[in-house]
Amino acid sequence: MNQEIRRLYARIETLEKEKNILANGNSPGYNLFSHSKDGIIIFDSEEKIVDVNPSFAKSIKMDKQQLIGRSLCEIVPENKHFKLEKQKELLKKNKSVRGILPVYNGSRSIIEFDFTTSTLNERGLYMCILRDVTNKRLLERKVKKNEELYADLFIEALDGIIFWCGNGEIIDANEAACRIFECTHDELIKKEIKDFVYEKSERYRNIVKEMFIKGSIRDELVFLMPNGQFKSLEFTVKLNSVEGYHMTIFRNVSERHAMEKSLRESEQKFRMIFEGALEGILLWNDQFEIVDINQSGQRMLQITKDDLIGASLHSILNDCNITDDELKEQIRNIHSEGQSDGNLSITLKTGRKKFFEFSNKLNIFSNISMTTFKDITEKLEMEEQLRKSDTLNVIGELAAGIAHEIRNPMTALKGFIQLLEGSVKEDHTMYFNVITTELSRIDSIINEFLILAKPQAVKFVELDISQIMKETVDLLSAQAVLHNVQFRTYYEQNLPKVFCESNQMKKVFINIIKNAIEVMPKGGYITVSIQKVSDHKVHISIKDEGTGIPAHKIKKLGEPFYTTKERGTGLGLMVTYKIIEEHKGTIEVESKMGEGTVFHIYLPLI
């Protein structure tokens, strides 16, 4: 654009020269009059047009004949008539007058002329030579505007702009550049841009090389300012951009870099907290689609992130204890209060049922809501166990008190019944049998009670648990055969010894196996296996193929007198739990209706 402006200036200059030649009247005459490129008007002292040359007539799109005889006032806009007055006045004193004169053309638009009027002769004729400068004036205005615009851009720009010459010396810089380079304008003028480059590294040299090859470049470097400050500047270089000078535009991107860095850091911080949290954290959007889940969450739900992201929140609520109505209520709560919390149980893909405590917060940021949750299965189980062991303790204390009291009269009863049986003449065998079995039933109940009684002389020793199990299985095999039940046993070789009380362990195994036999009236297999699961735990499992136990009944197992059998005592499992507890072990029951039940016993090895 600058080139264009310069070209126009040159053209204006030559035109000026031409006009001057004409105005000086170097070669007057008709030829000049009719062939001149400039317009010529001859008018008299009354300002009446006497003659015009073709060039003028053409420039205002009128016929010569239309113009001759008219007054100059008619072709000059009214508000410029003062110019004609002025001309008249000046012509009285001077030989010639110069100026700018607007004239109407045939279609009533205004043409601007540069004019020179001079006295033609003594008879009061004047000659006005006019040159159409409409376009020139327009251009001049445009140039002025462009110059202003350029100055505005240069001075006011937010980006630093530096002009430098071939030897690298800075010749001009705007205010923004001074600010960026922490220099005054004068200080900057003495320097070169490369003085500020912090490291003249390979990269810097490549940038310079490429700049000279391509003529322009855009890149980024670290600059060291005179006050010791480092700045990352983004720059655009354009060689020979204005009048042979080179231009570089700078922008300080240090802040942006710092911001990006702190953003990255805070994102990292958030990640660490998110992933490191002990609670499960689930993020979901307003479409209830899962957006993110942390590691604890994946572990608790036993699903990987990849399987979850994009899935609906409902998909993990699969097989949970919350009804659709309750779920809607939850969602309503979230929407009305921005949060909600509660408990729910979910059956995981692995088939395990887990209990969770959760809390929802709506729209924690841009449409993302958060659910935090905790696996409280173990806590609930522990509470349950605590409740059971509490009852067990009470029973134990009771048992200690009563059992002996009952036992003594029982011994007396048993002795006398035997005596009576021998001395009664009639055959009452049936009655005696009933009495004897009922008495032995009472006996076994009392025995089980006694195990619960606290102070017992139990001796814990290191024993081979497989051996104890083998003996128990042998003991029960007769009864098993009777029920058409067979054993399958798997004992891990070289199991470490378990610290336990042999008779009590036997009691545990007998109770569980007996129950197993009793739930398989049509026979089947009882699978017993013992194996080490870790350095400090051994796992004993006893699996039957019986009826199974409904889920809601499993937690009742071990409660005193809980039995579903007509002649059951409901004490067997209670004793079992008690003994395992005393051995610092745990029992888990896994059951499927119609398929069978597995009792898992875990005993500590040390």
Residues contributing to the site for ligand ADP (CB under 6 A): 511, 515-516, 519, 544, 546-547, 549, 557, 562-565, 568-574, 597
Between residues 359 and 563, which has the closer beta carbon with respect to Mg ion? 563
- Contact flag: residue 546 with Mg ion (CB under 5 A): no
**x/- track of binding to Mg ion for residues 512-531 (CB under 5 A):** ---x----------------
**Binding flag, residue 572, Mg ion (CB under 5 A):** yes
Q: Please, are residues 501 and 464 in contact by the beta-carbon 8 Å criterion?
A: no
Q: How far apart are alpha carbons 394 and 453 in whole angstroms?
A: 10
Q: Two tokens at 109?
A: 């638009």
Q: How far is the CB of 564 from Mg ion (least distance, A)?
A: 10
Contact 330, 341 (CB under 8 A): no
Q: How far is the CB of 312 from ligand ADP (least distance, A)?
A: 38
Contact 384, 376 (CB under 8 A): no
Residue 562 contacts which entry, Mg ion, ligand ADP, none (Cβ below 5-8 A, type-dependent):
ligand ADP
Q: Parallel, antiparallel, or unpaired: how do β-strands 126-132 and 39-43 relate?
A: antiparallel
Shorter beta-carbon distance to ligand ADP: residue 221 or 519 = 519
301 conformational bin, left if phi > 0, alpha if psi -120 to 50, beta if neither: alpha
Q: How far is the CB of 396 from ligand ADP (least distance, A)?
A: 16
The count of residues interacting with Mg ion (CB under 5 A) is: 2
Burial 3-19 (b: 16+ CB within 10 A, else e): eeeeebeeeeeebeeeb
| Nearer to ligand ADP (CB atom), residue 295 or residue 563 | 563
Residue 140, both tokens: 């001049």
597 touching Mg ion, by CB under 5 A? no
- Residue 516 CB, shortest distance to ligand ADP, in Å, is 5
CB of 276 or CB of 568, closer to ligand ADP: 568
Count helices and strands in the chain by DSSP H and E runs: 21, 22
Smaller CB distance to ligand ADP: residue 142 or 441?
A: 441
Handedness of CA 185, 189, 194, 198 (dihedral sign): negative
563 contact choice in Mg ion, ligand ADP, none (CB below 5 to 8 Å, kind-dependent)? ligand ADP
Cα–Cα distance, 313 to 283 (Å, whole number): 10
Nearer to ligand ADP, 231 or 543 (CB): 543
- The distance of closest approach from Cβ of residue 570 to Mg ion in the complex, given in angstroms and rounded to an integer, is 8
User: Which H or E element spans position 597?
Assistant: strand 596-604
Question: Which of ligand ADP, Mg ion, none binds 546 (CB below 5-8 Å, type-dependent)?
Answer: ligand ADP
- How far is the C-alpha of 26 from the C-alpha of 84, rounded, in Å? 26
- Contacting range for Mg ion; rule: CB under 5 A; set: 418-426, 429-437, 509-517, 546-554: 509-517
CB of 553 to ligand ADP, least distance (A): 7
State the nearest-atom distance from the C-beta of 452 to ligand ADP, in Å.
13
Minimum CB distance to Mg ion, residue 385 (Å): 20
Smallest gap from Cβ 413 to ligand ADP, in A, equals: 23
d(CA 447, CA 405): 13
- Cα separation, 603 vs 537, whole angstroms: 6
In this chain, which residue has its C-beta nearest to Mg ion? 572
Nearer to ligand ADP, 162 or 571 (CB): 571
d(CA 359, CA 468): 49
CB of 116 closer than 8 Å to CB of 23: yes
* Nearest CB to Mg ion, comparing residues 399 and 512: 512
Which burial class, exposed, middle or buried, applies to 102 when counting CB atoms under 10 A from its CB (0-12, 13-18, 19+)?
middle
Q: Which positions lie near Mg ion, rule CB under 5 A?
A: 515, 572
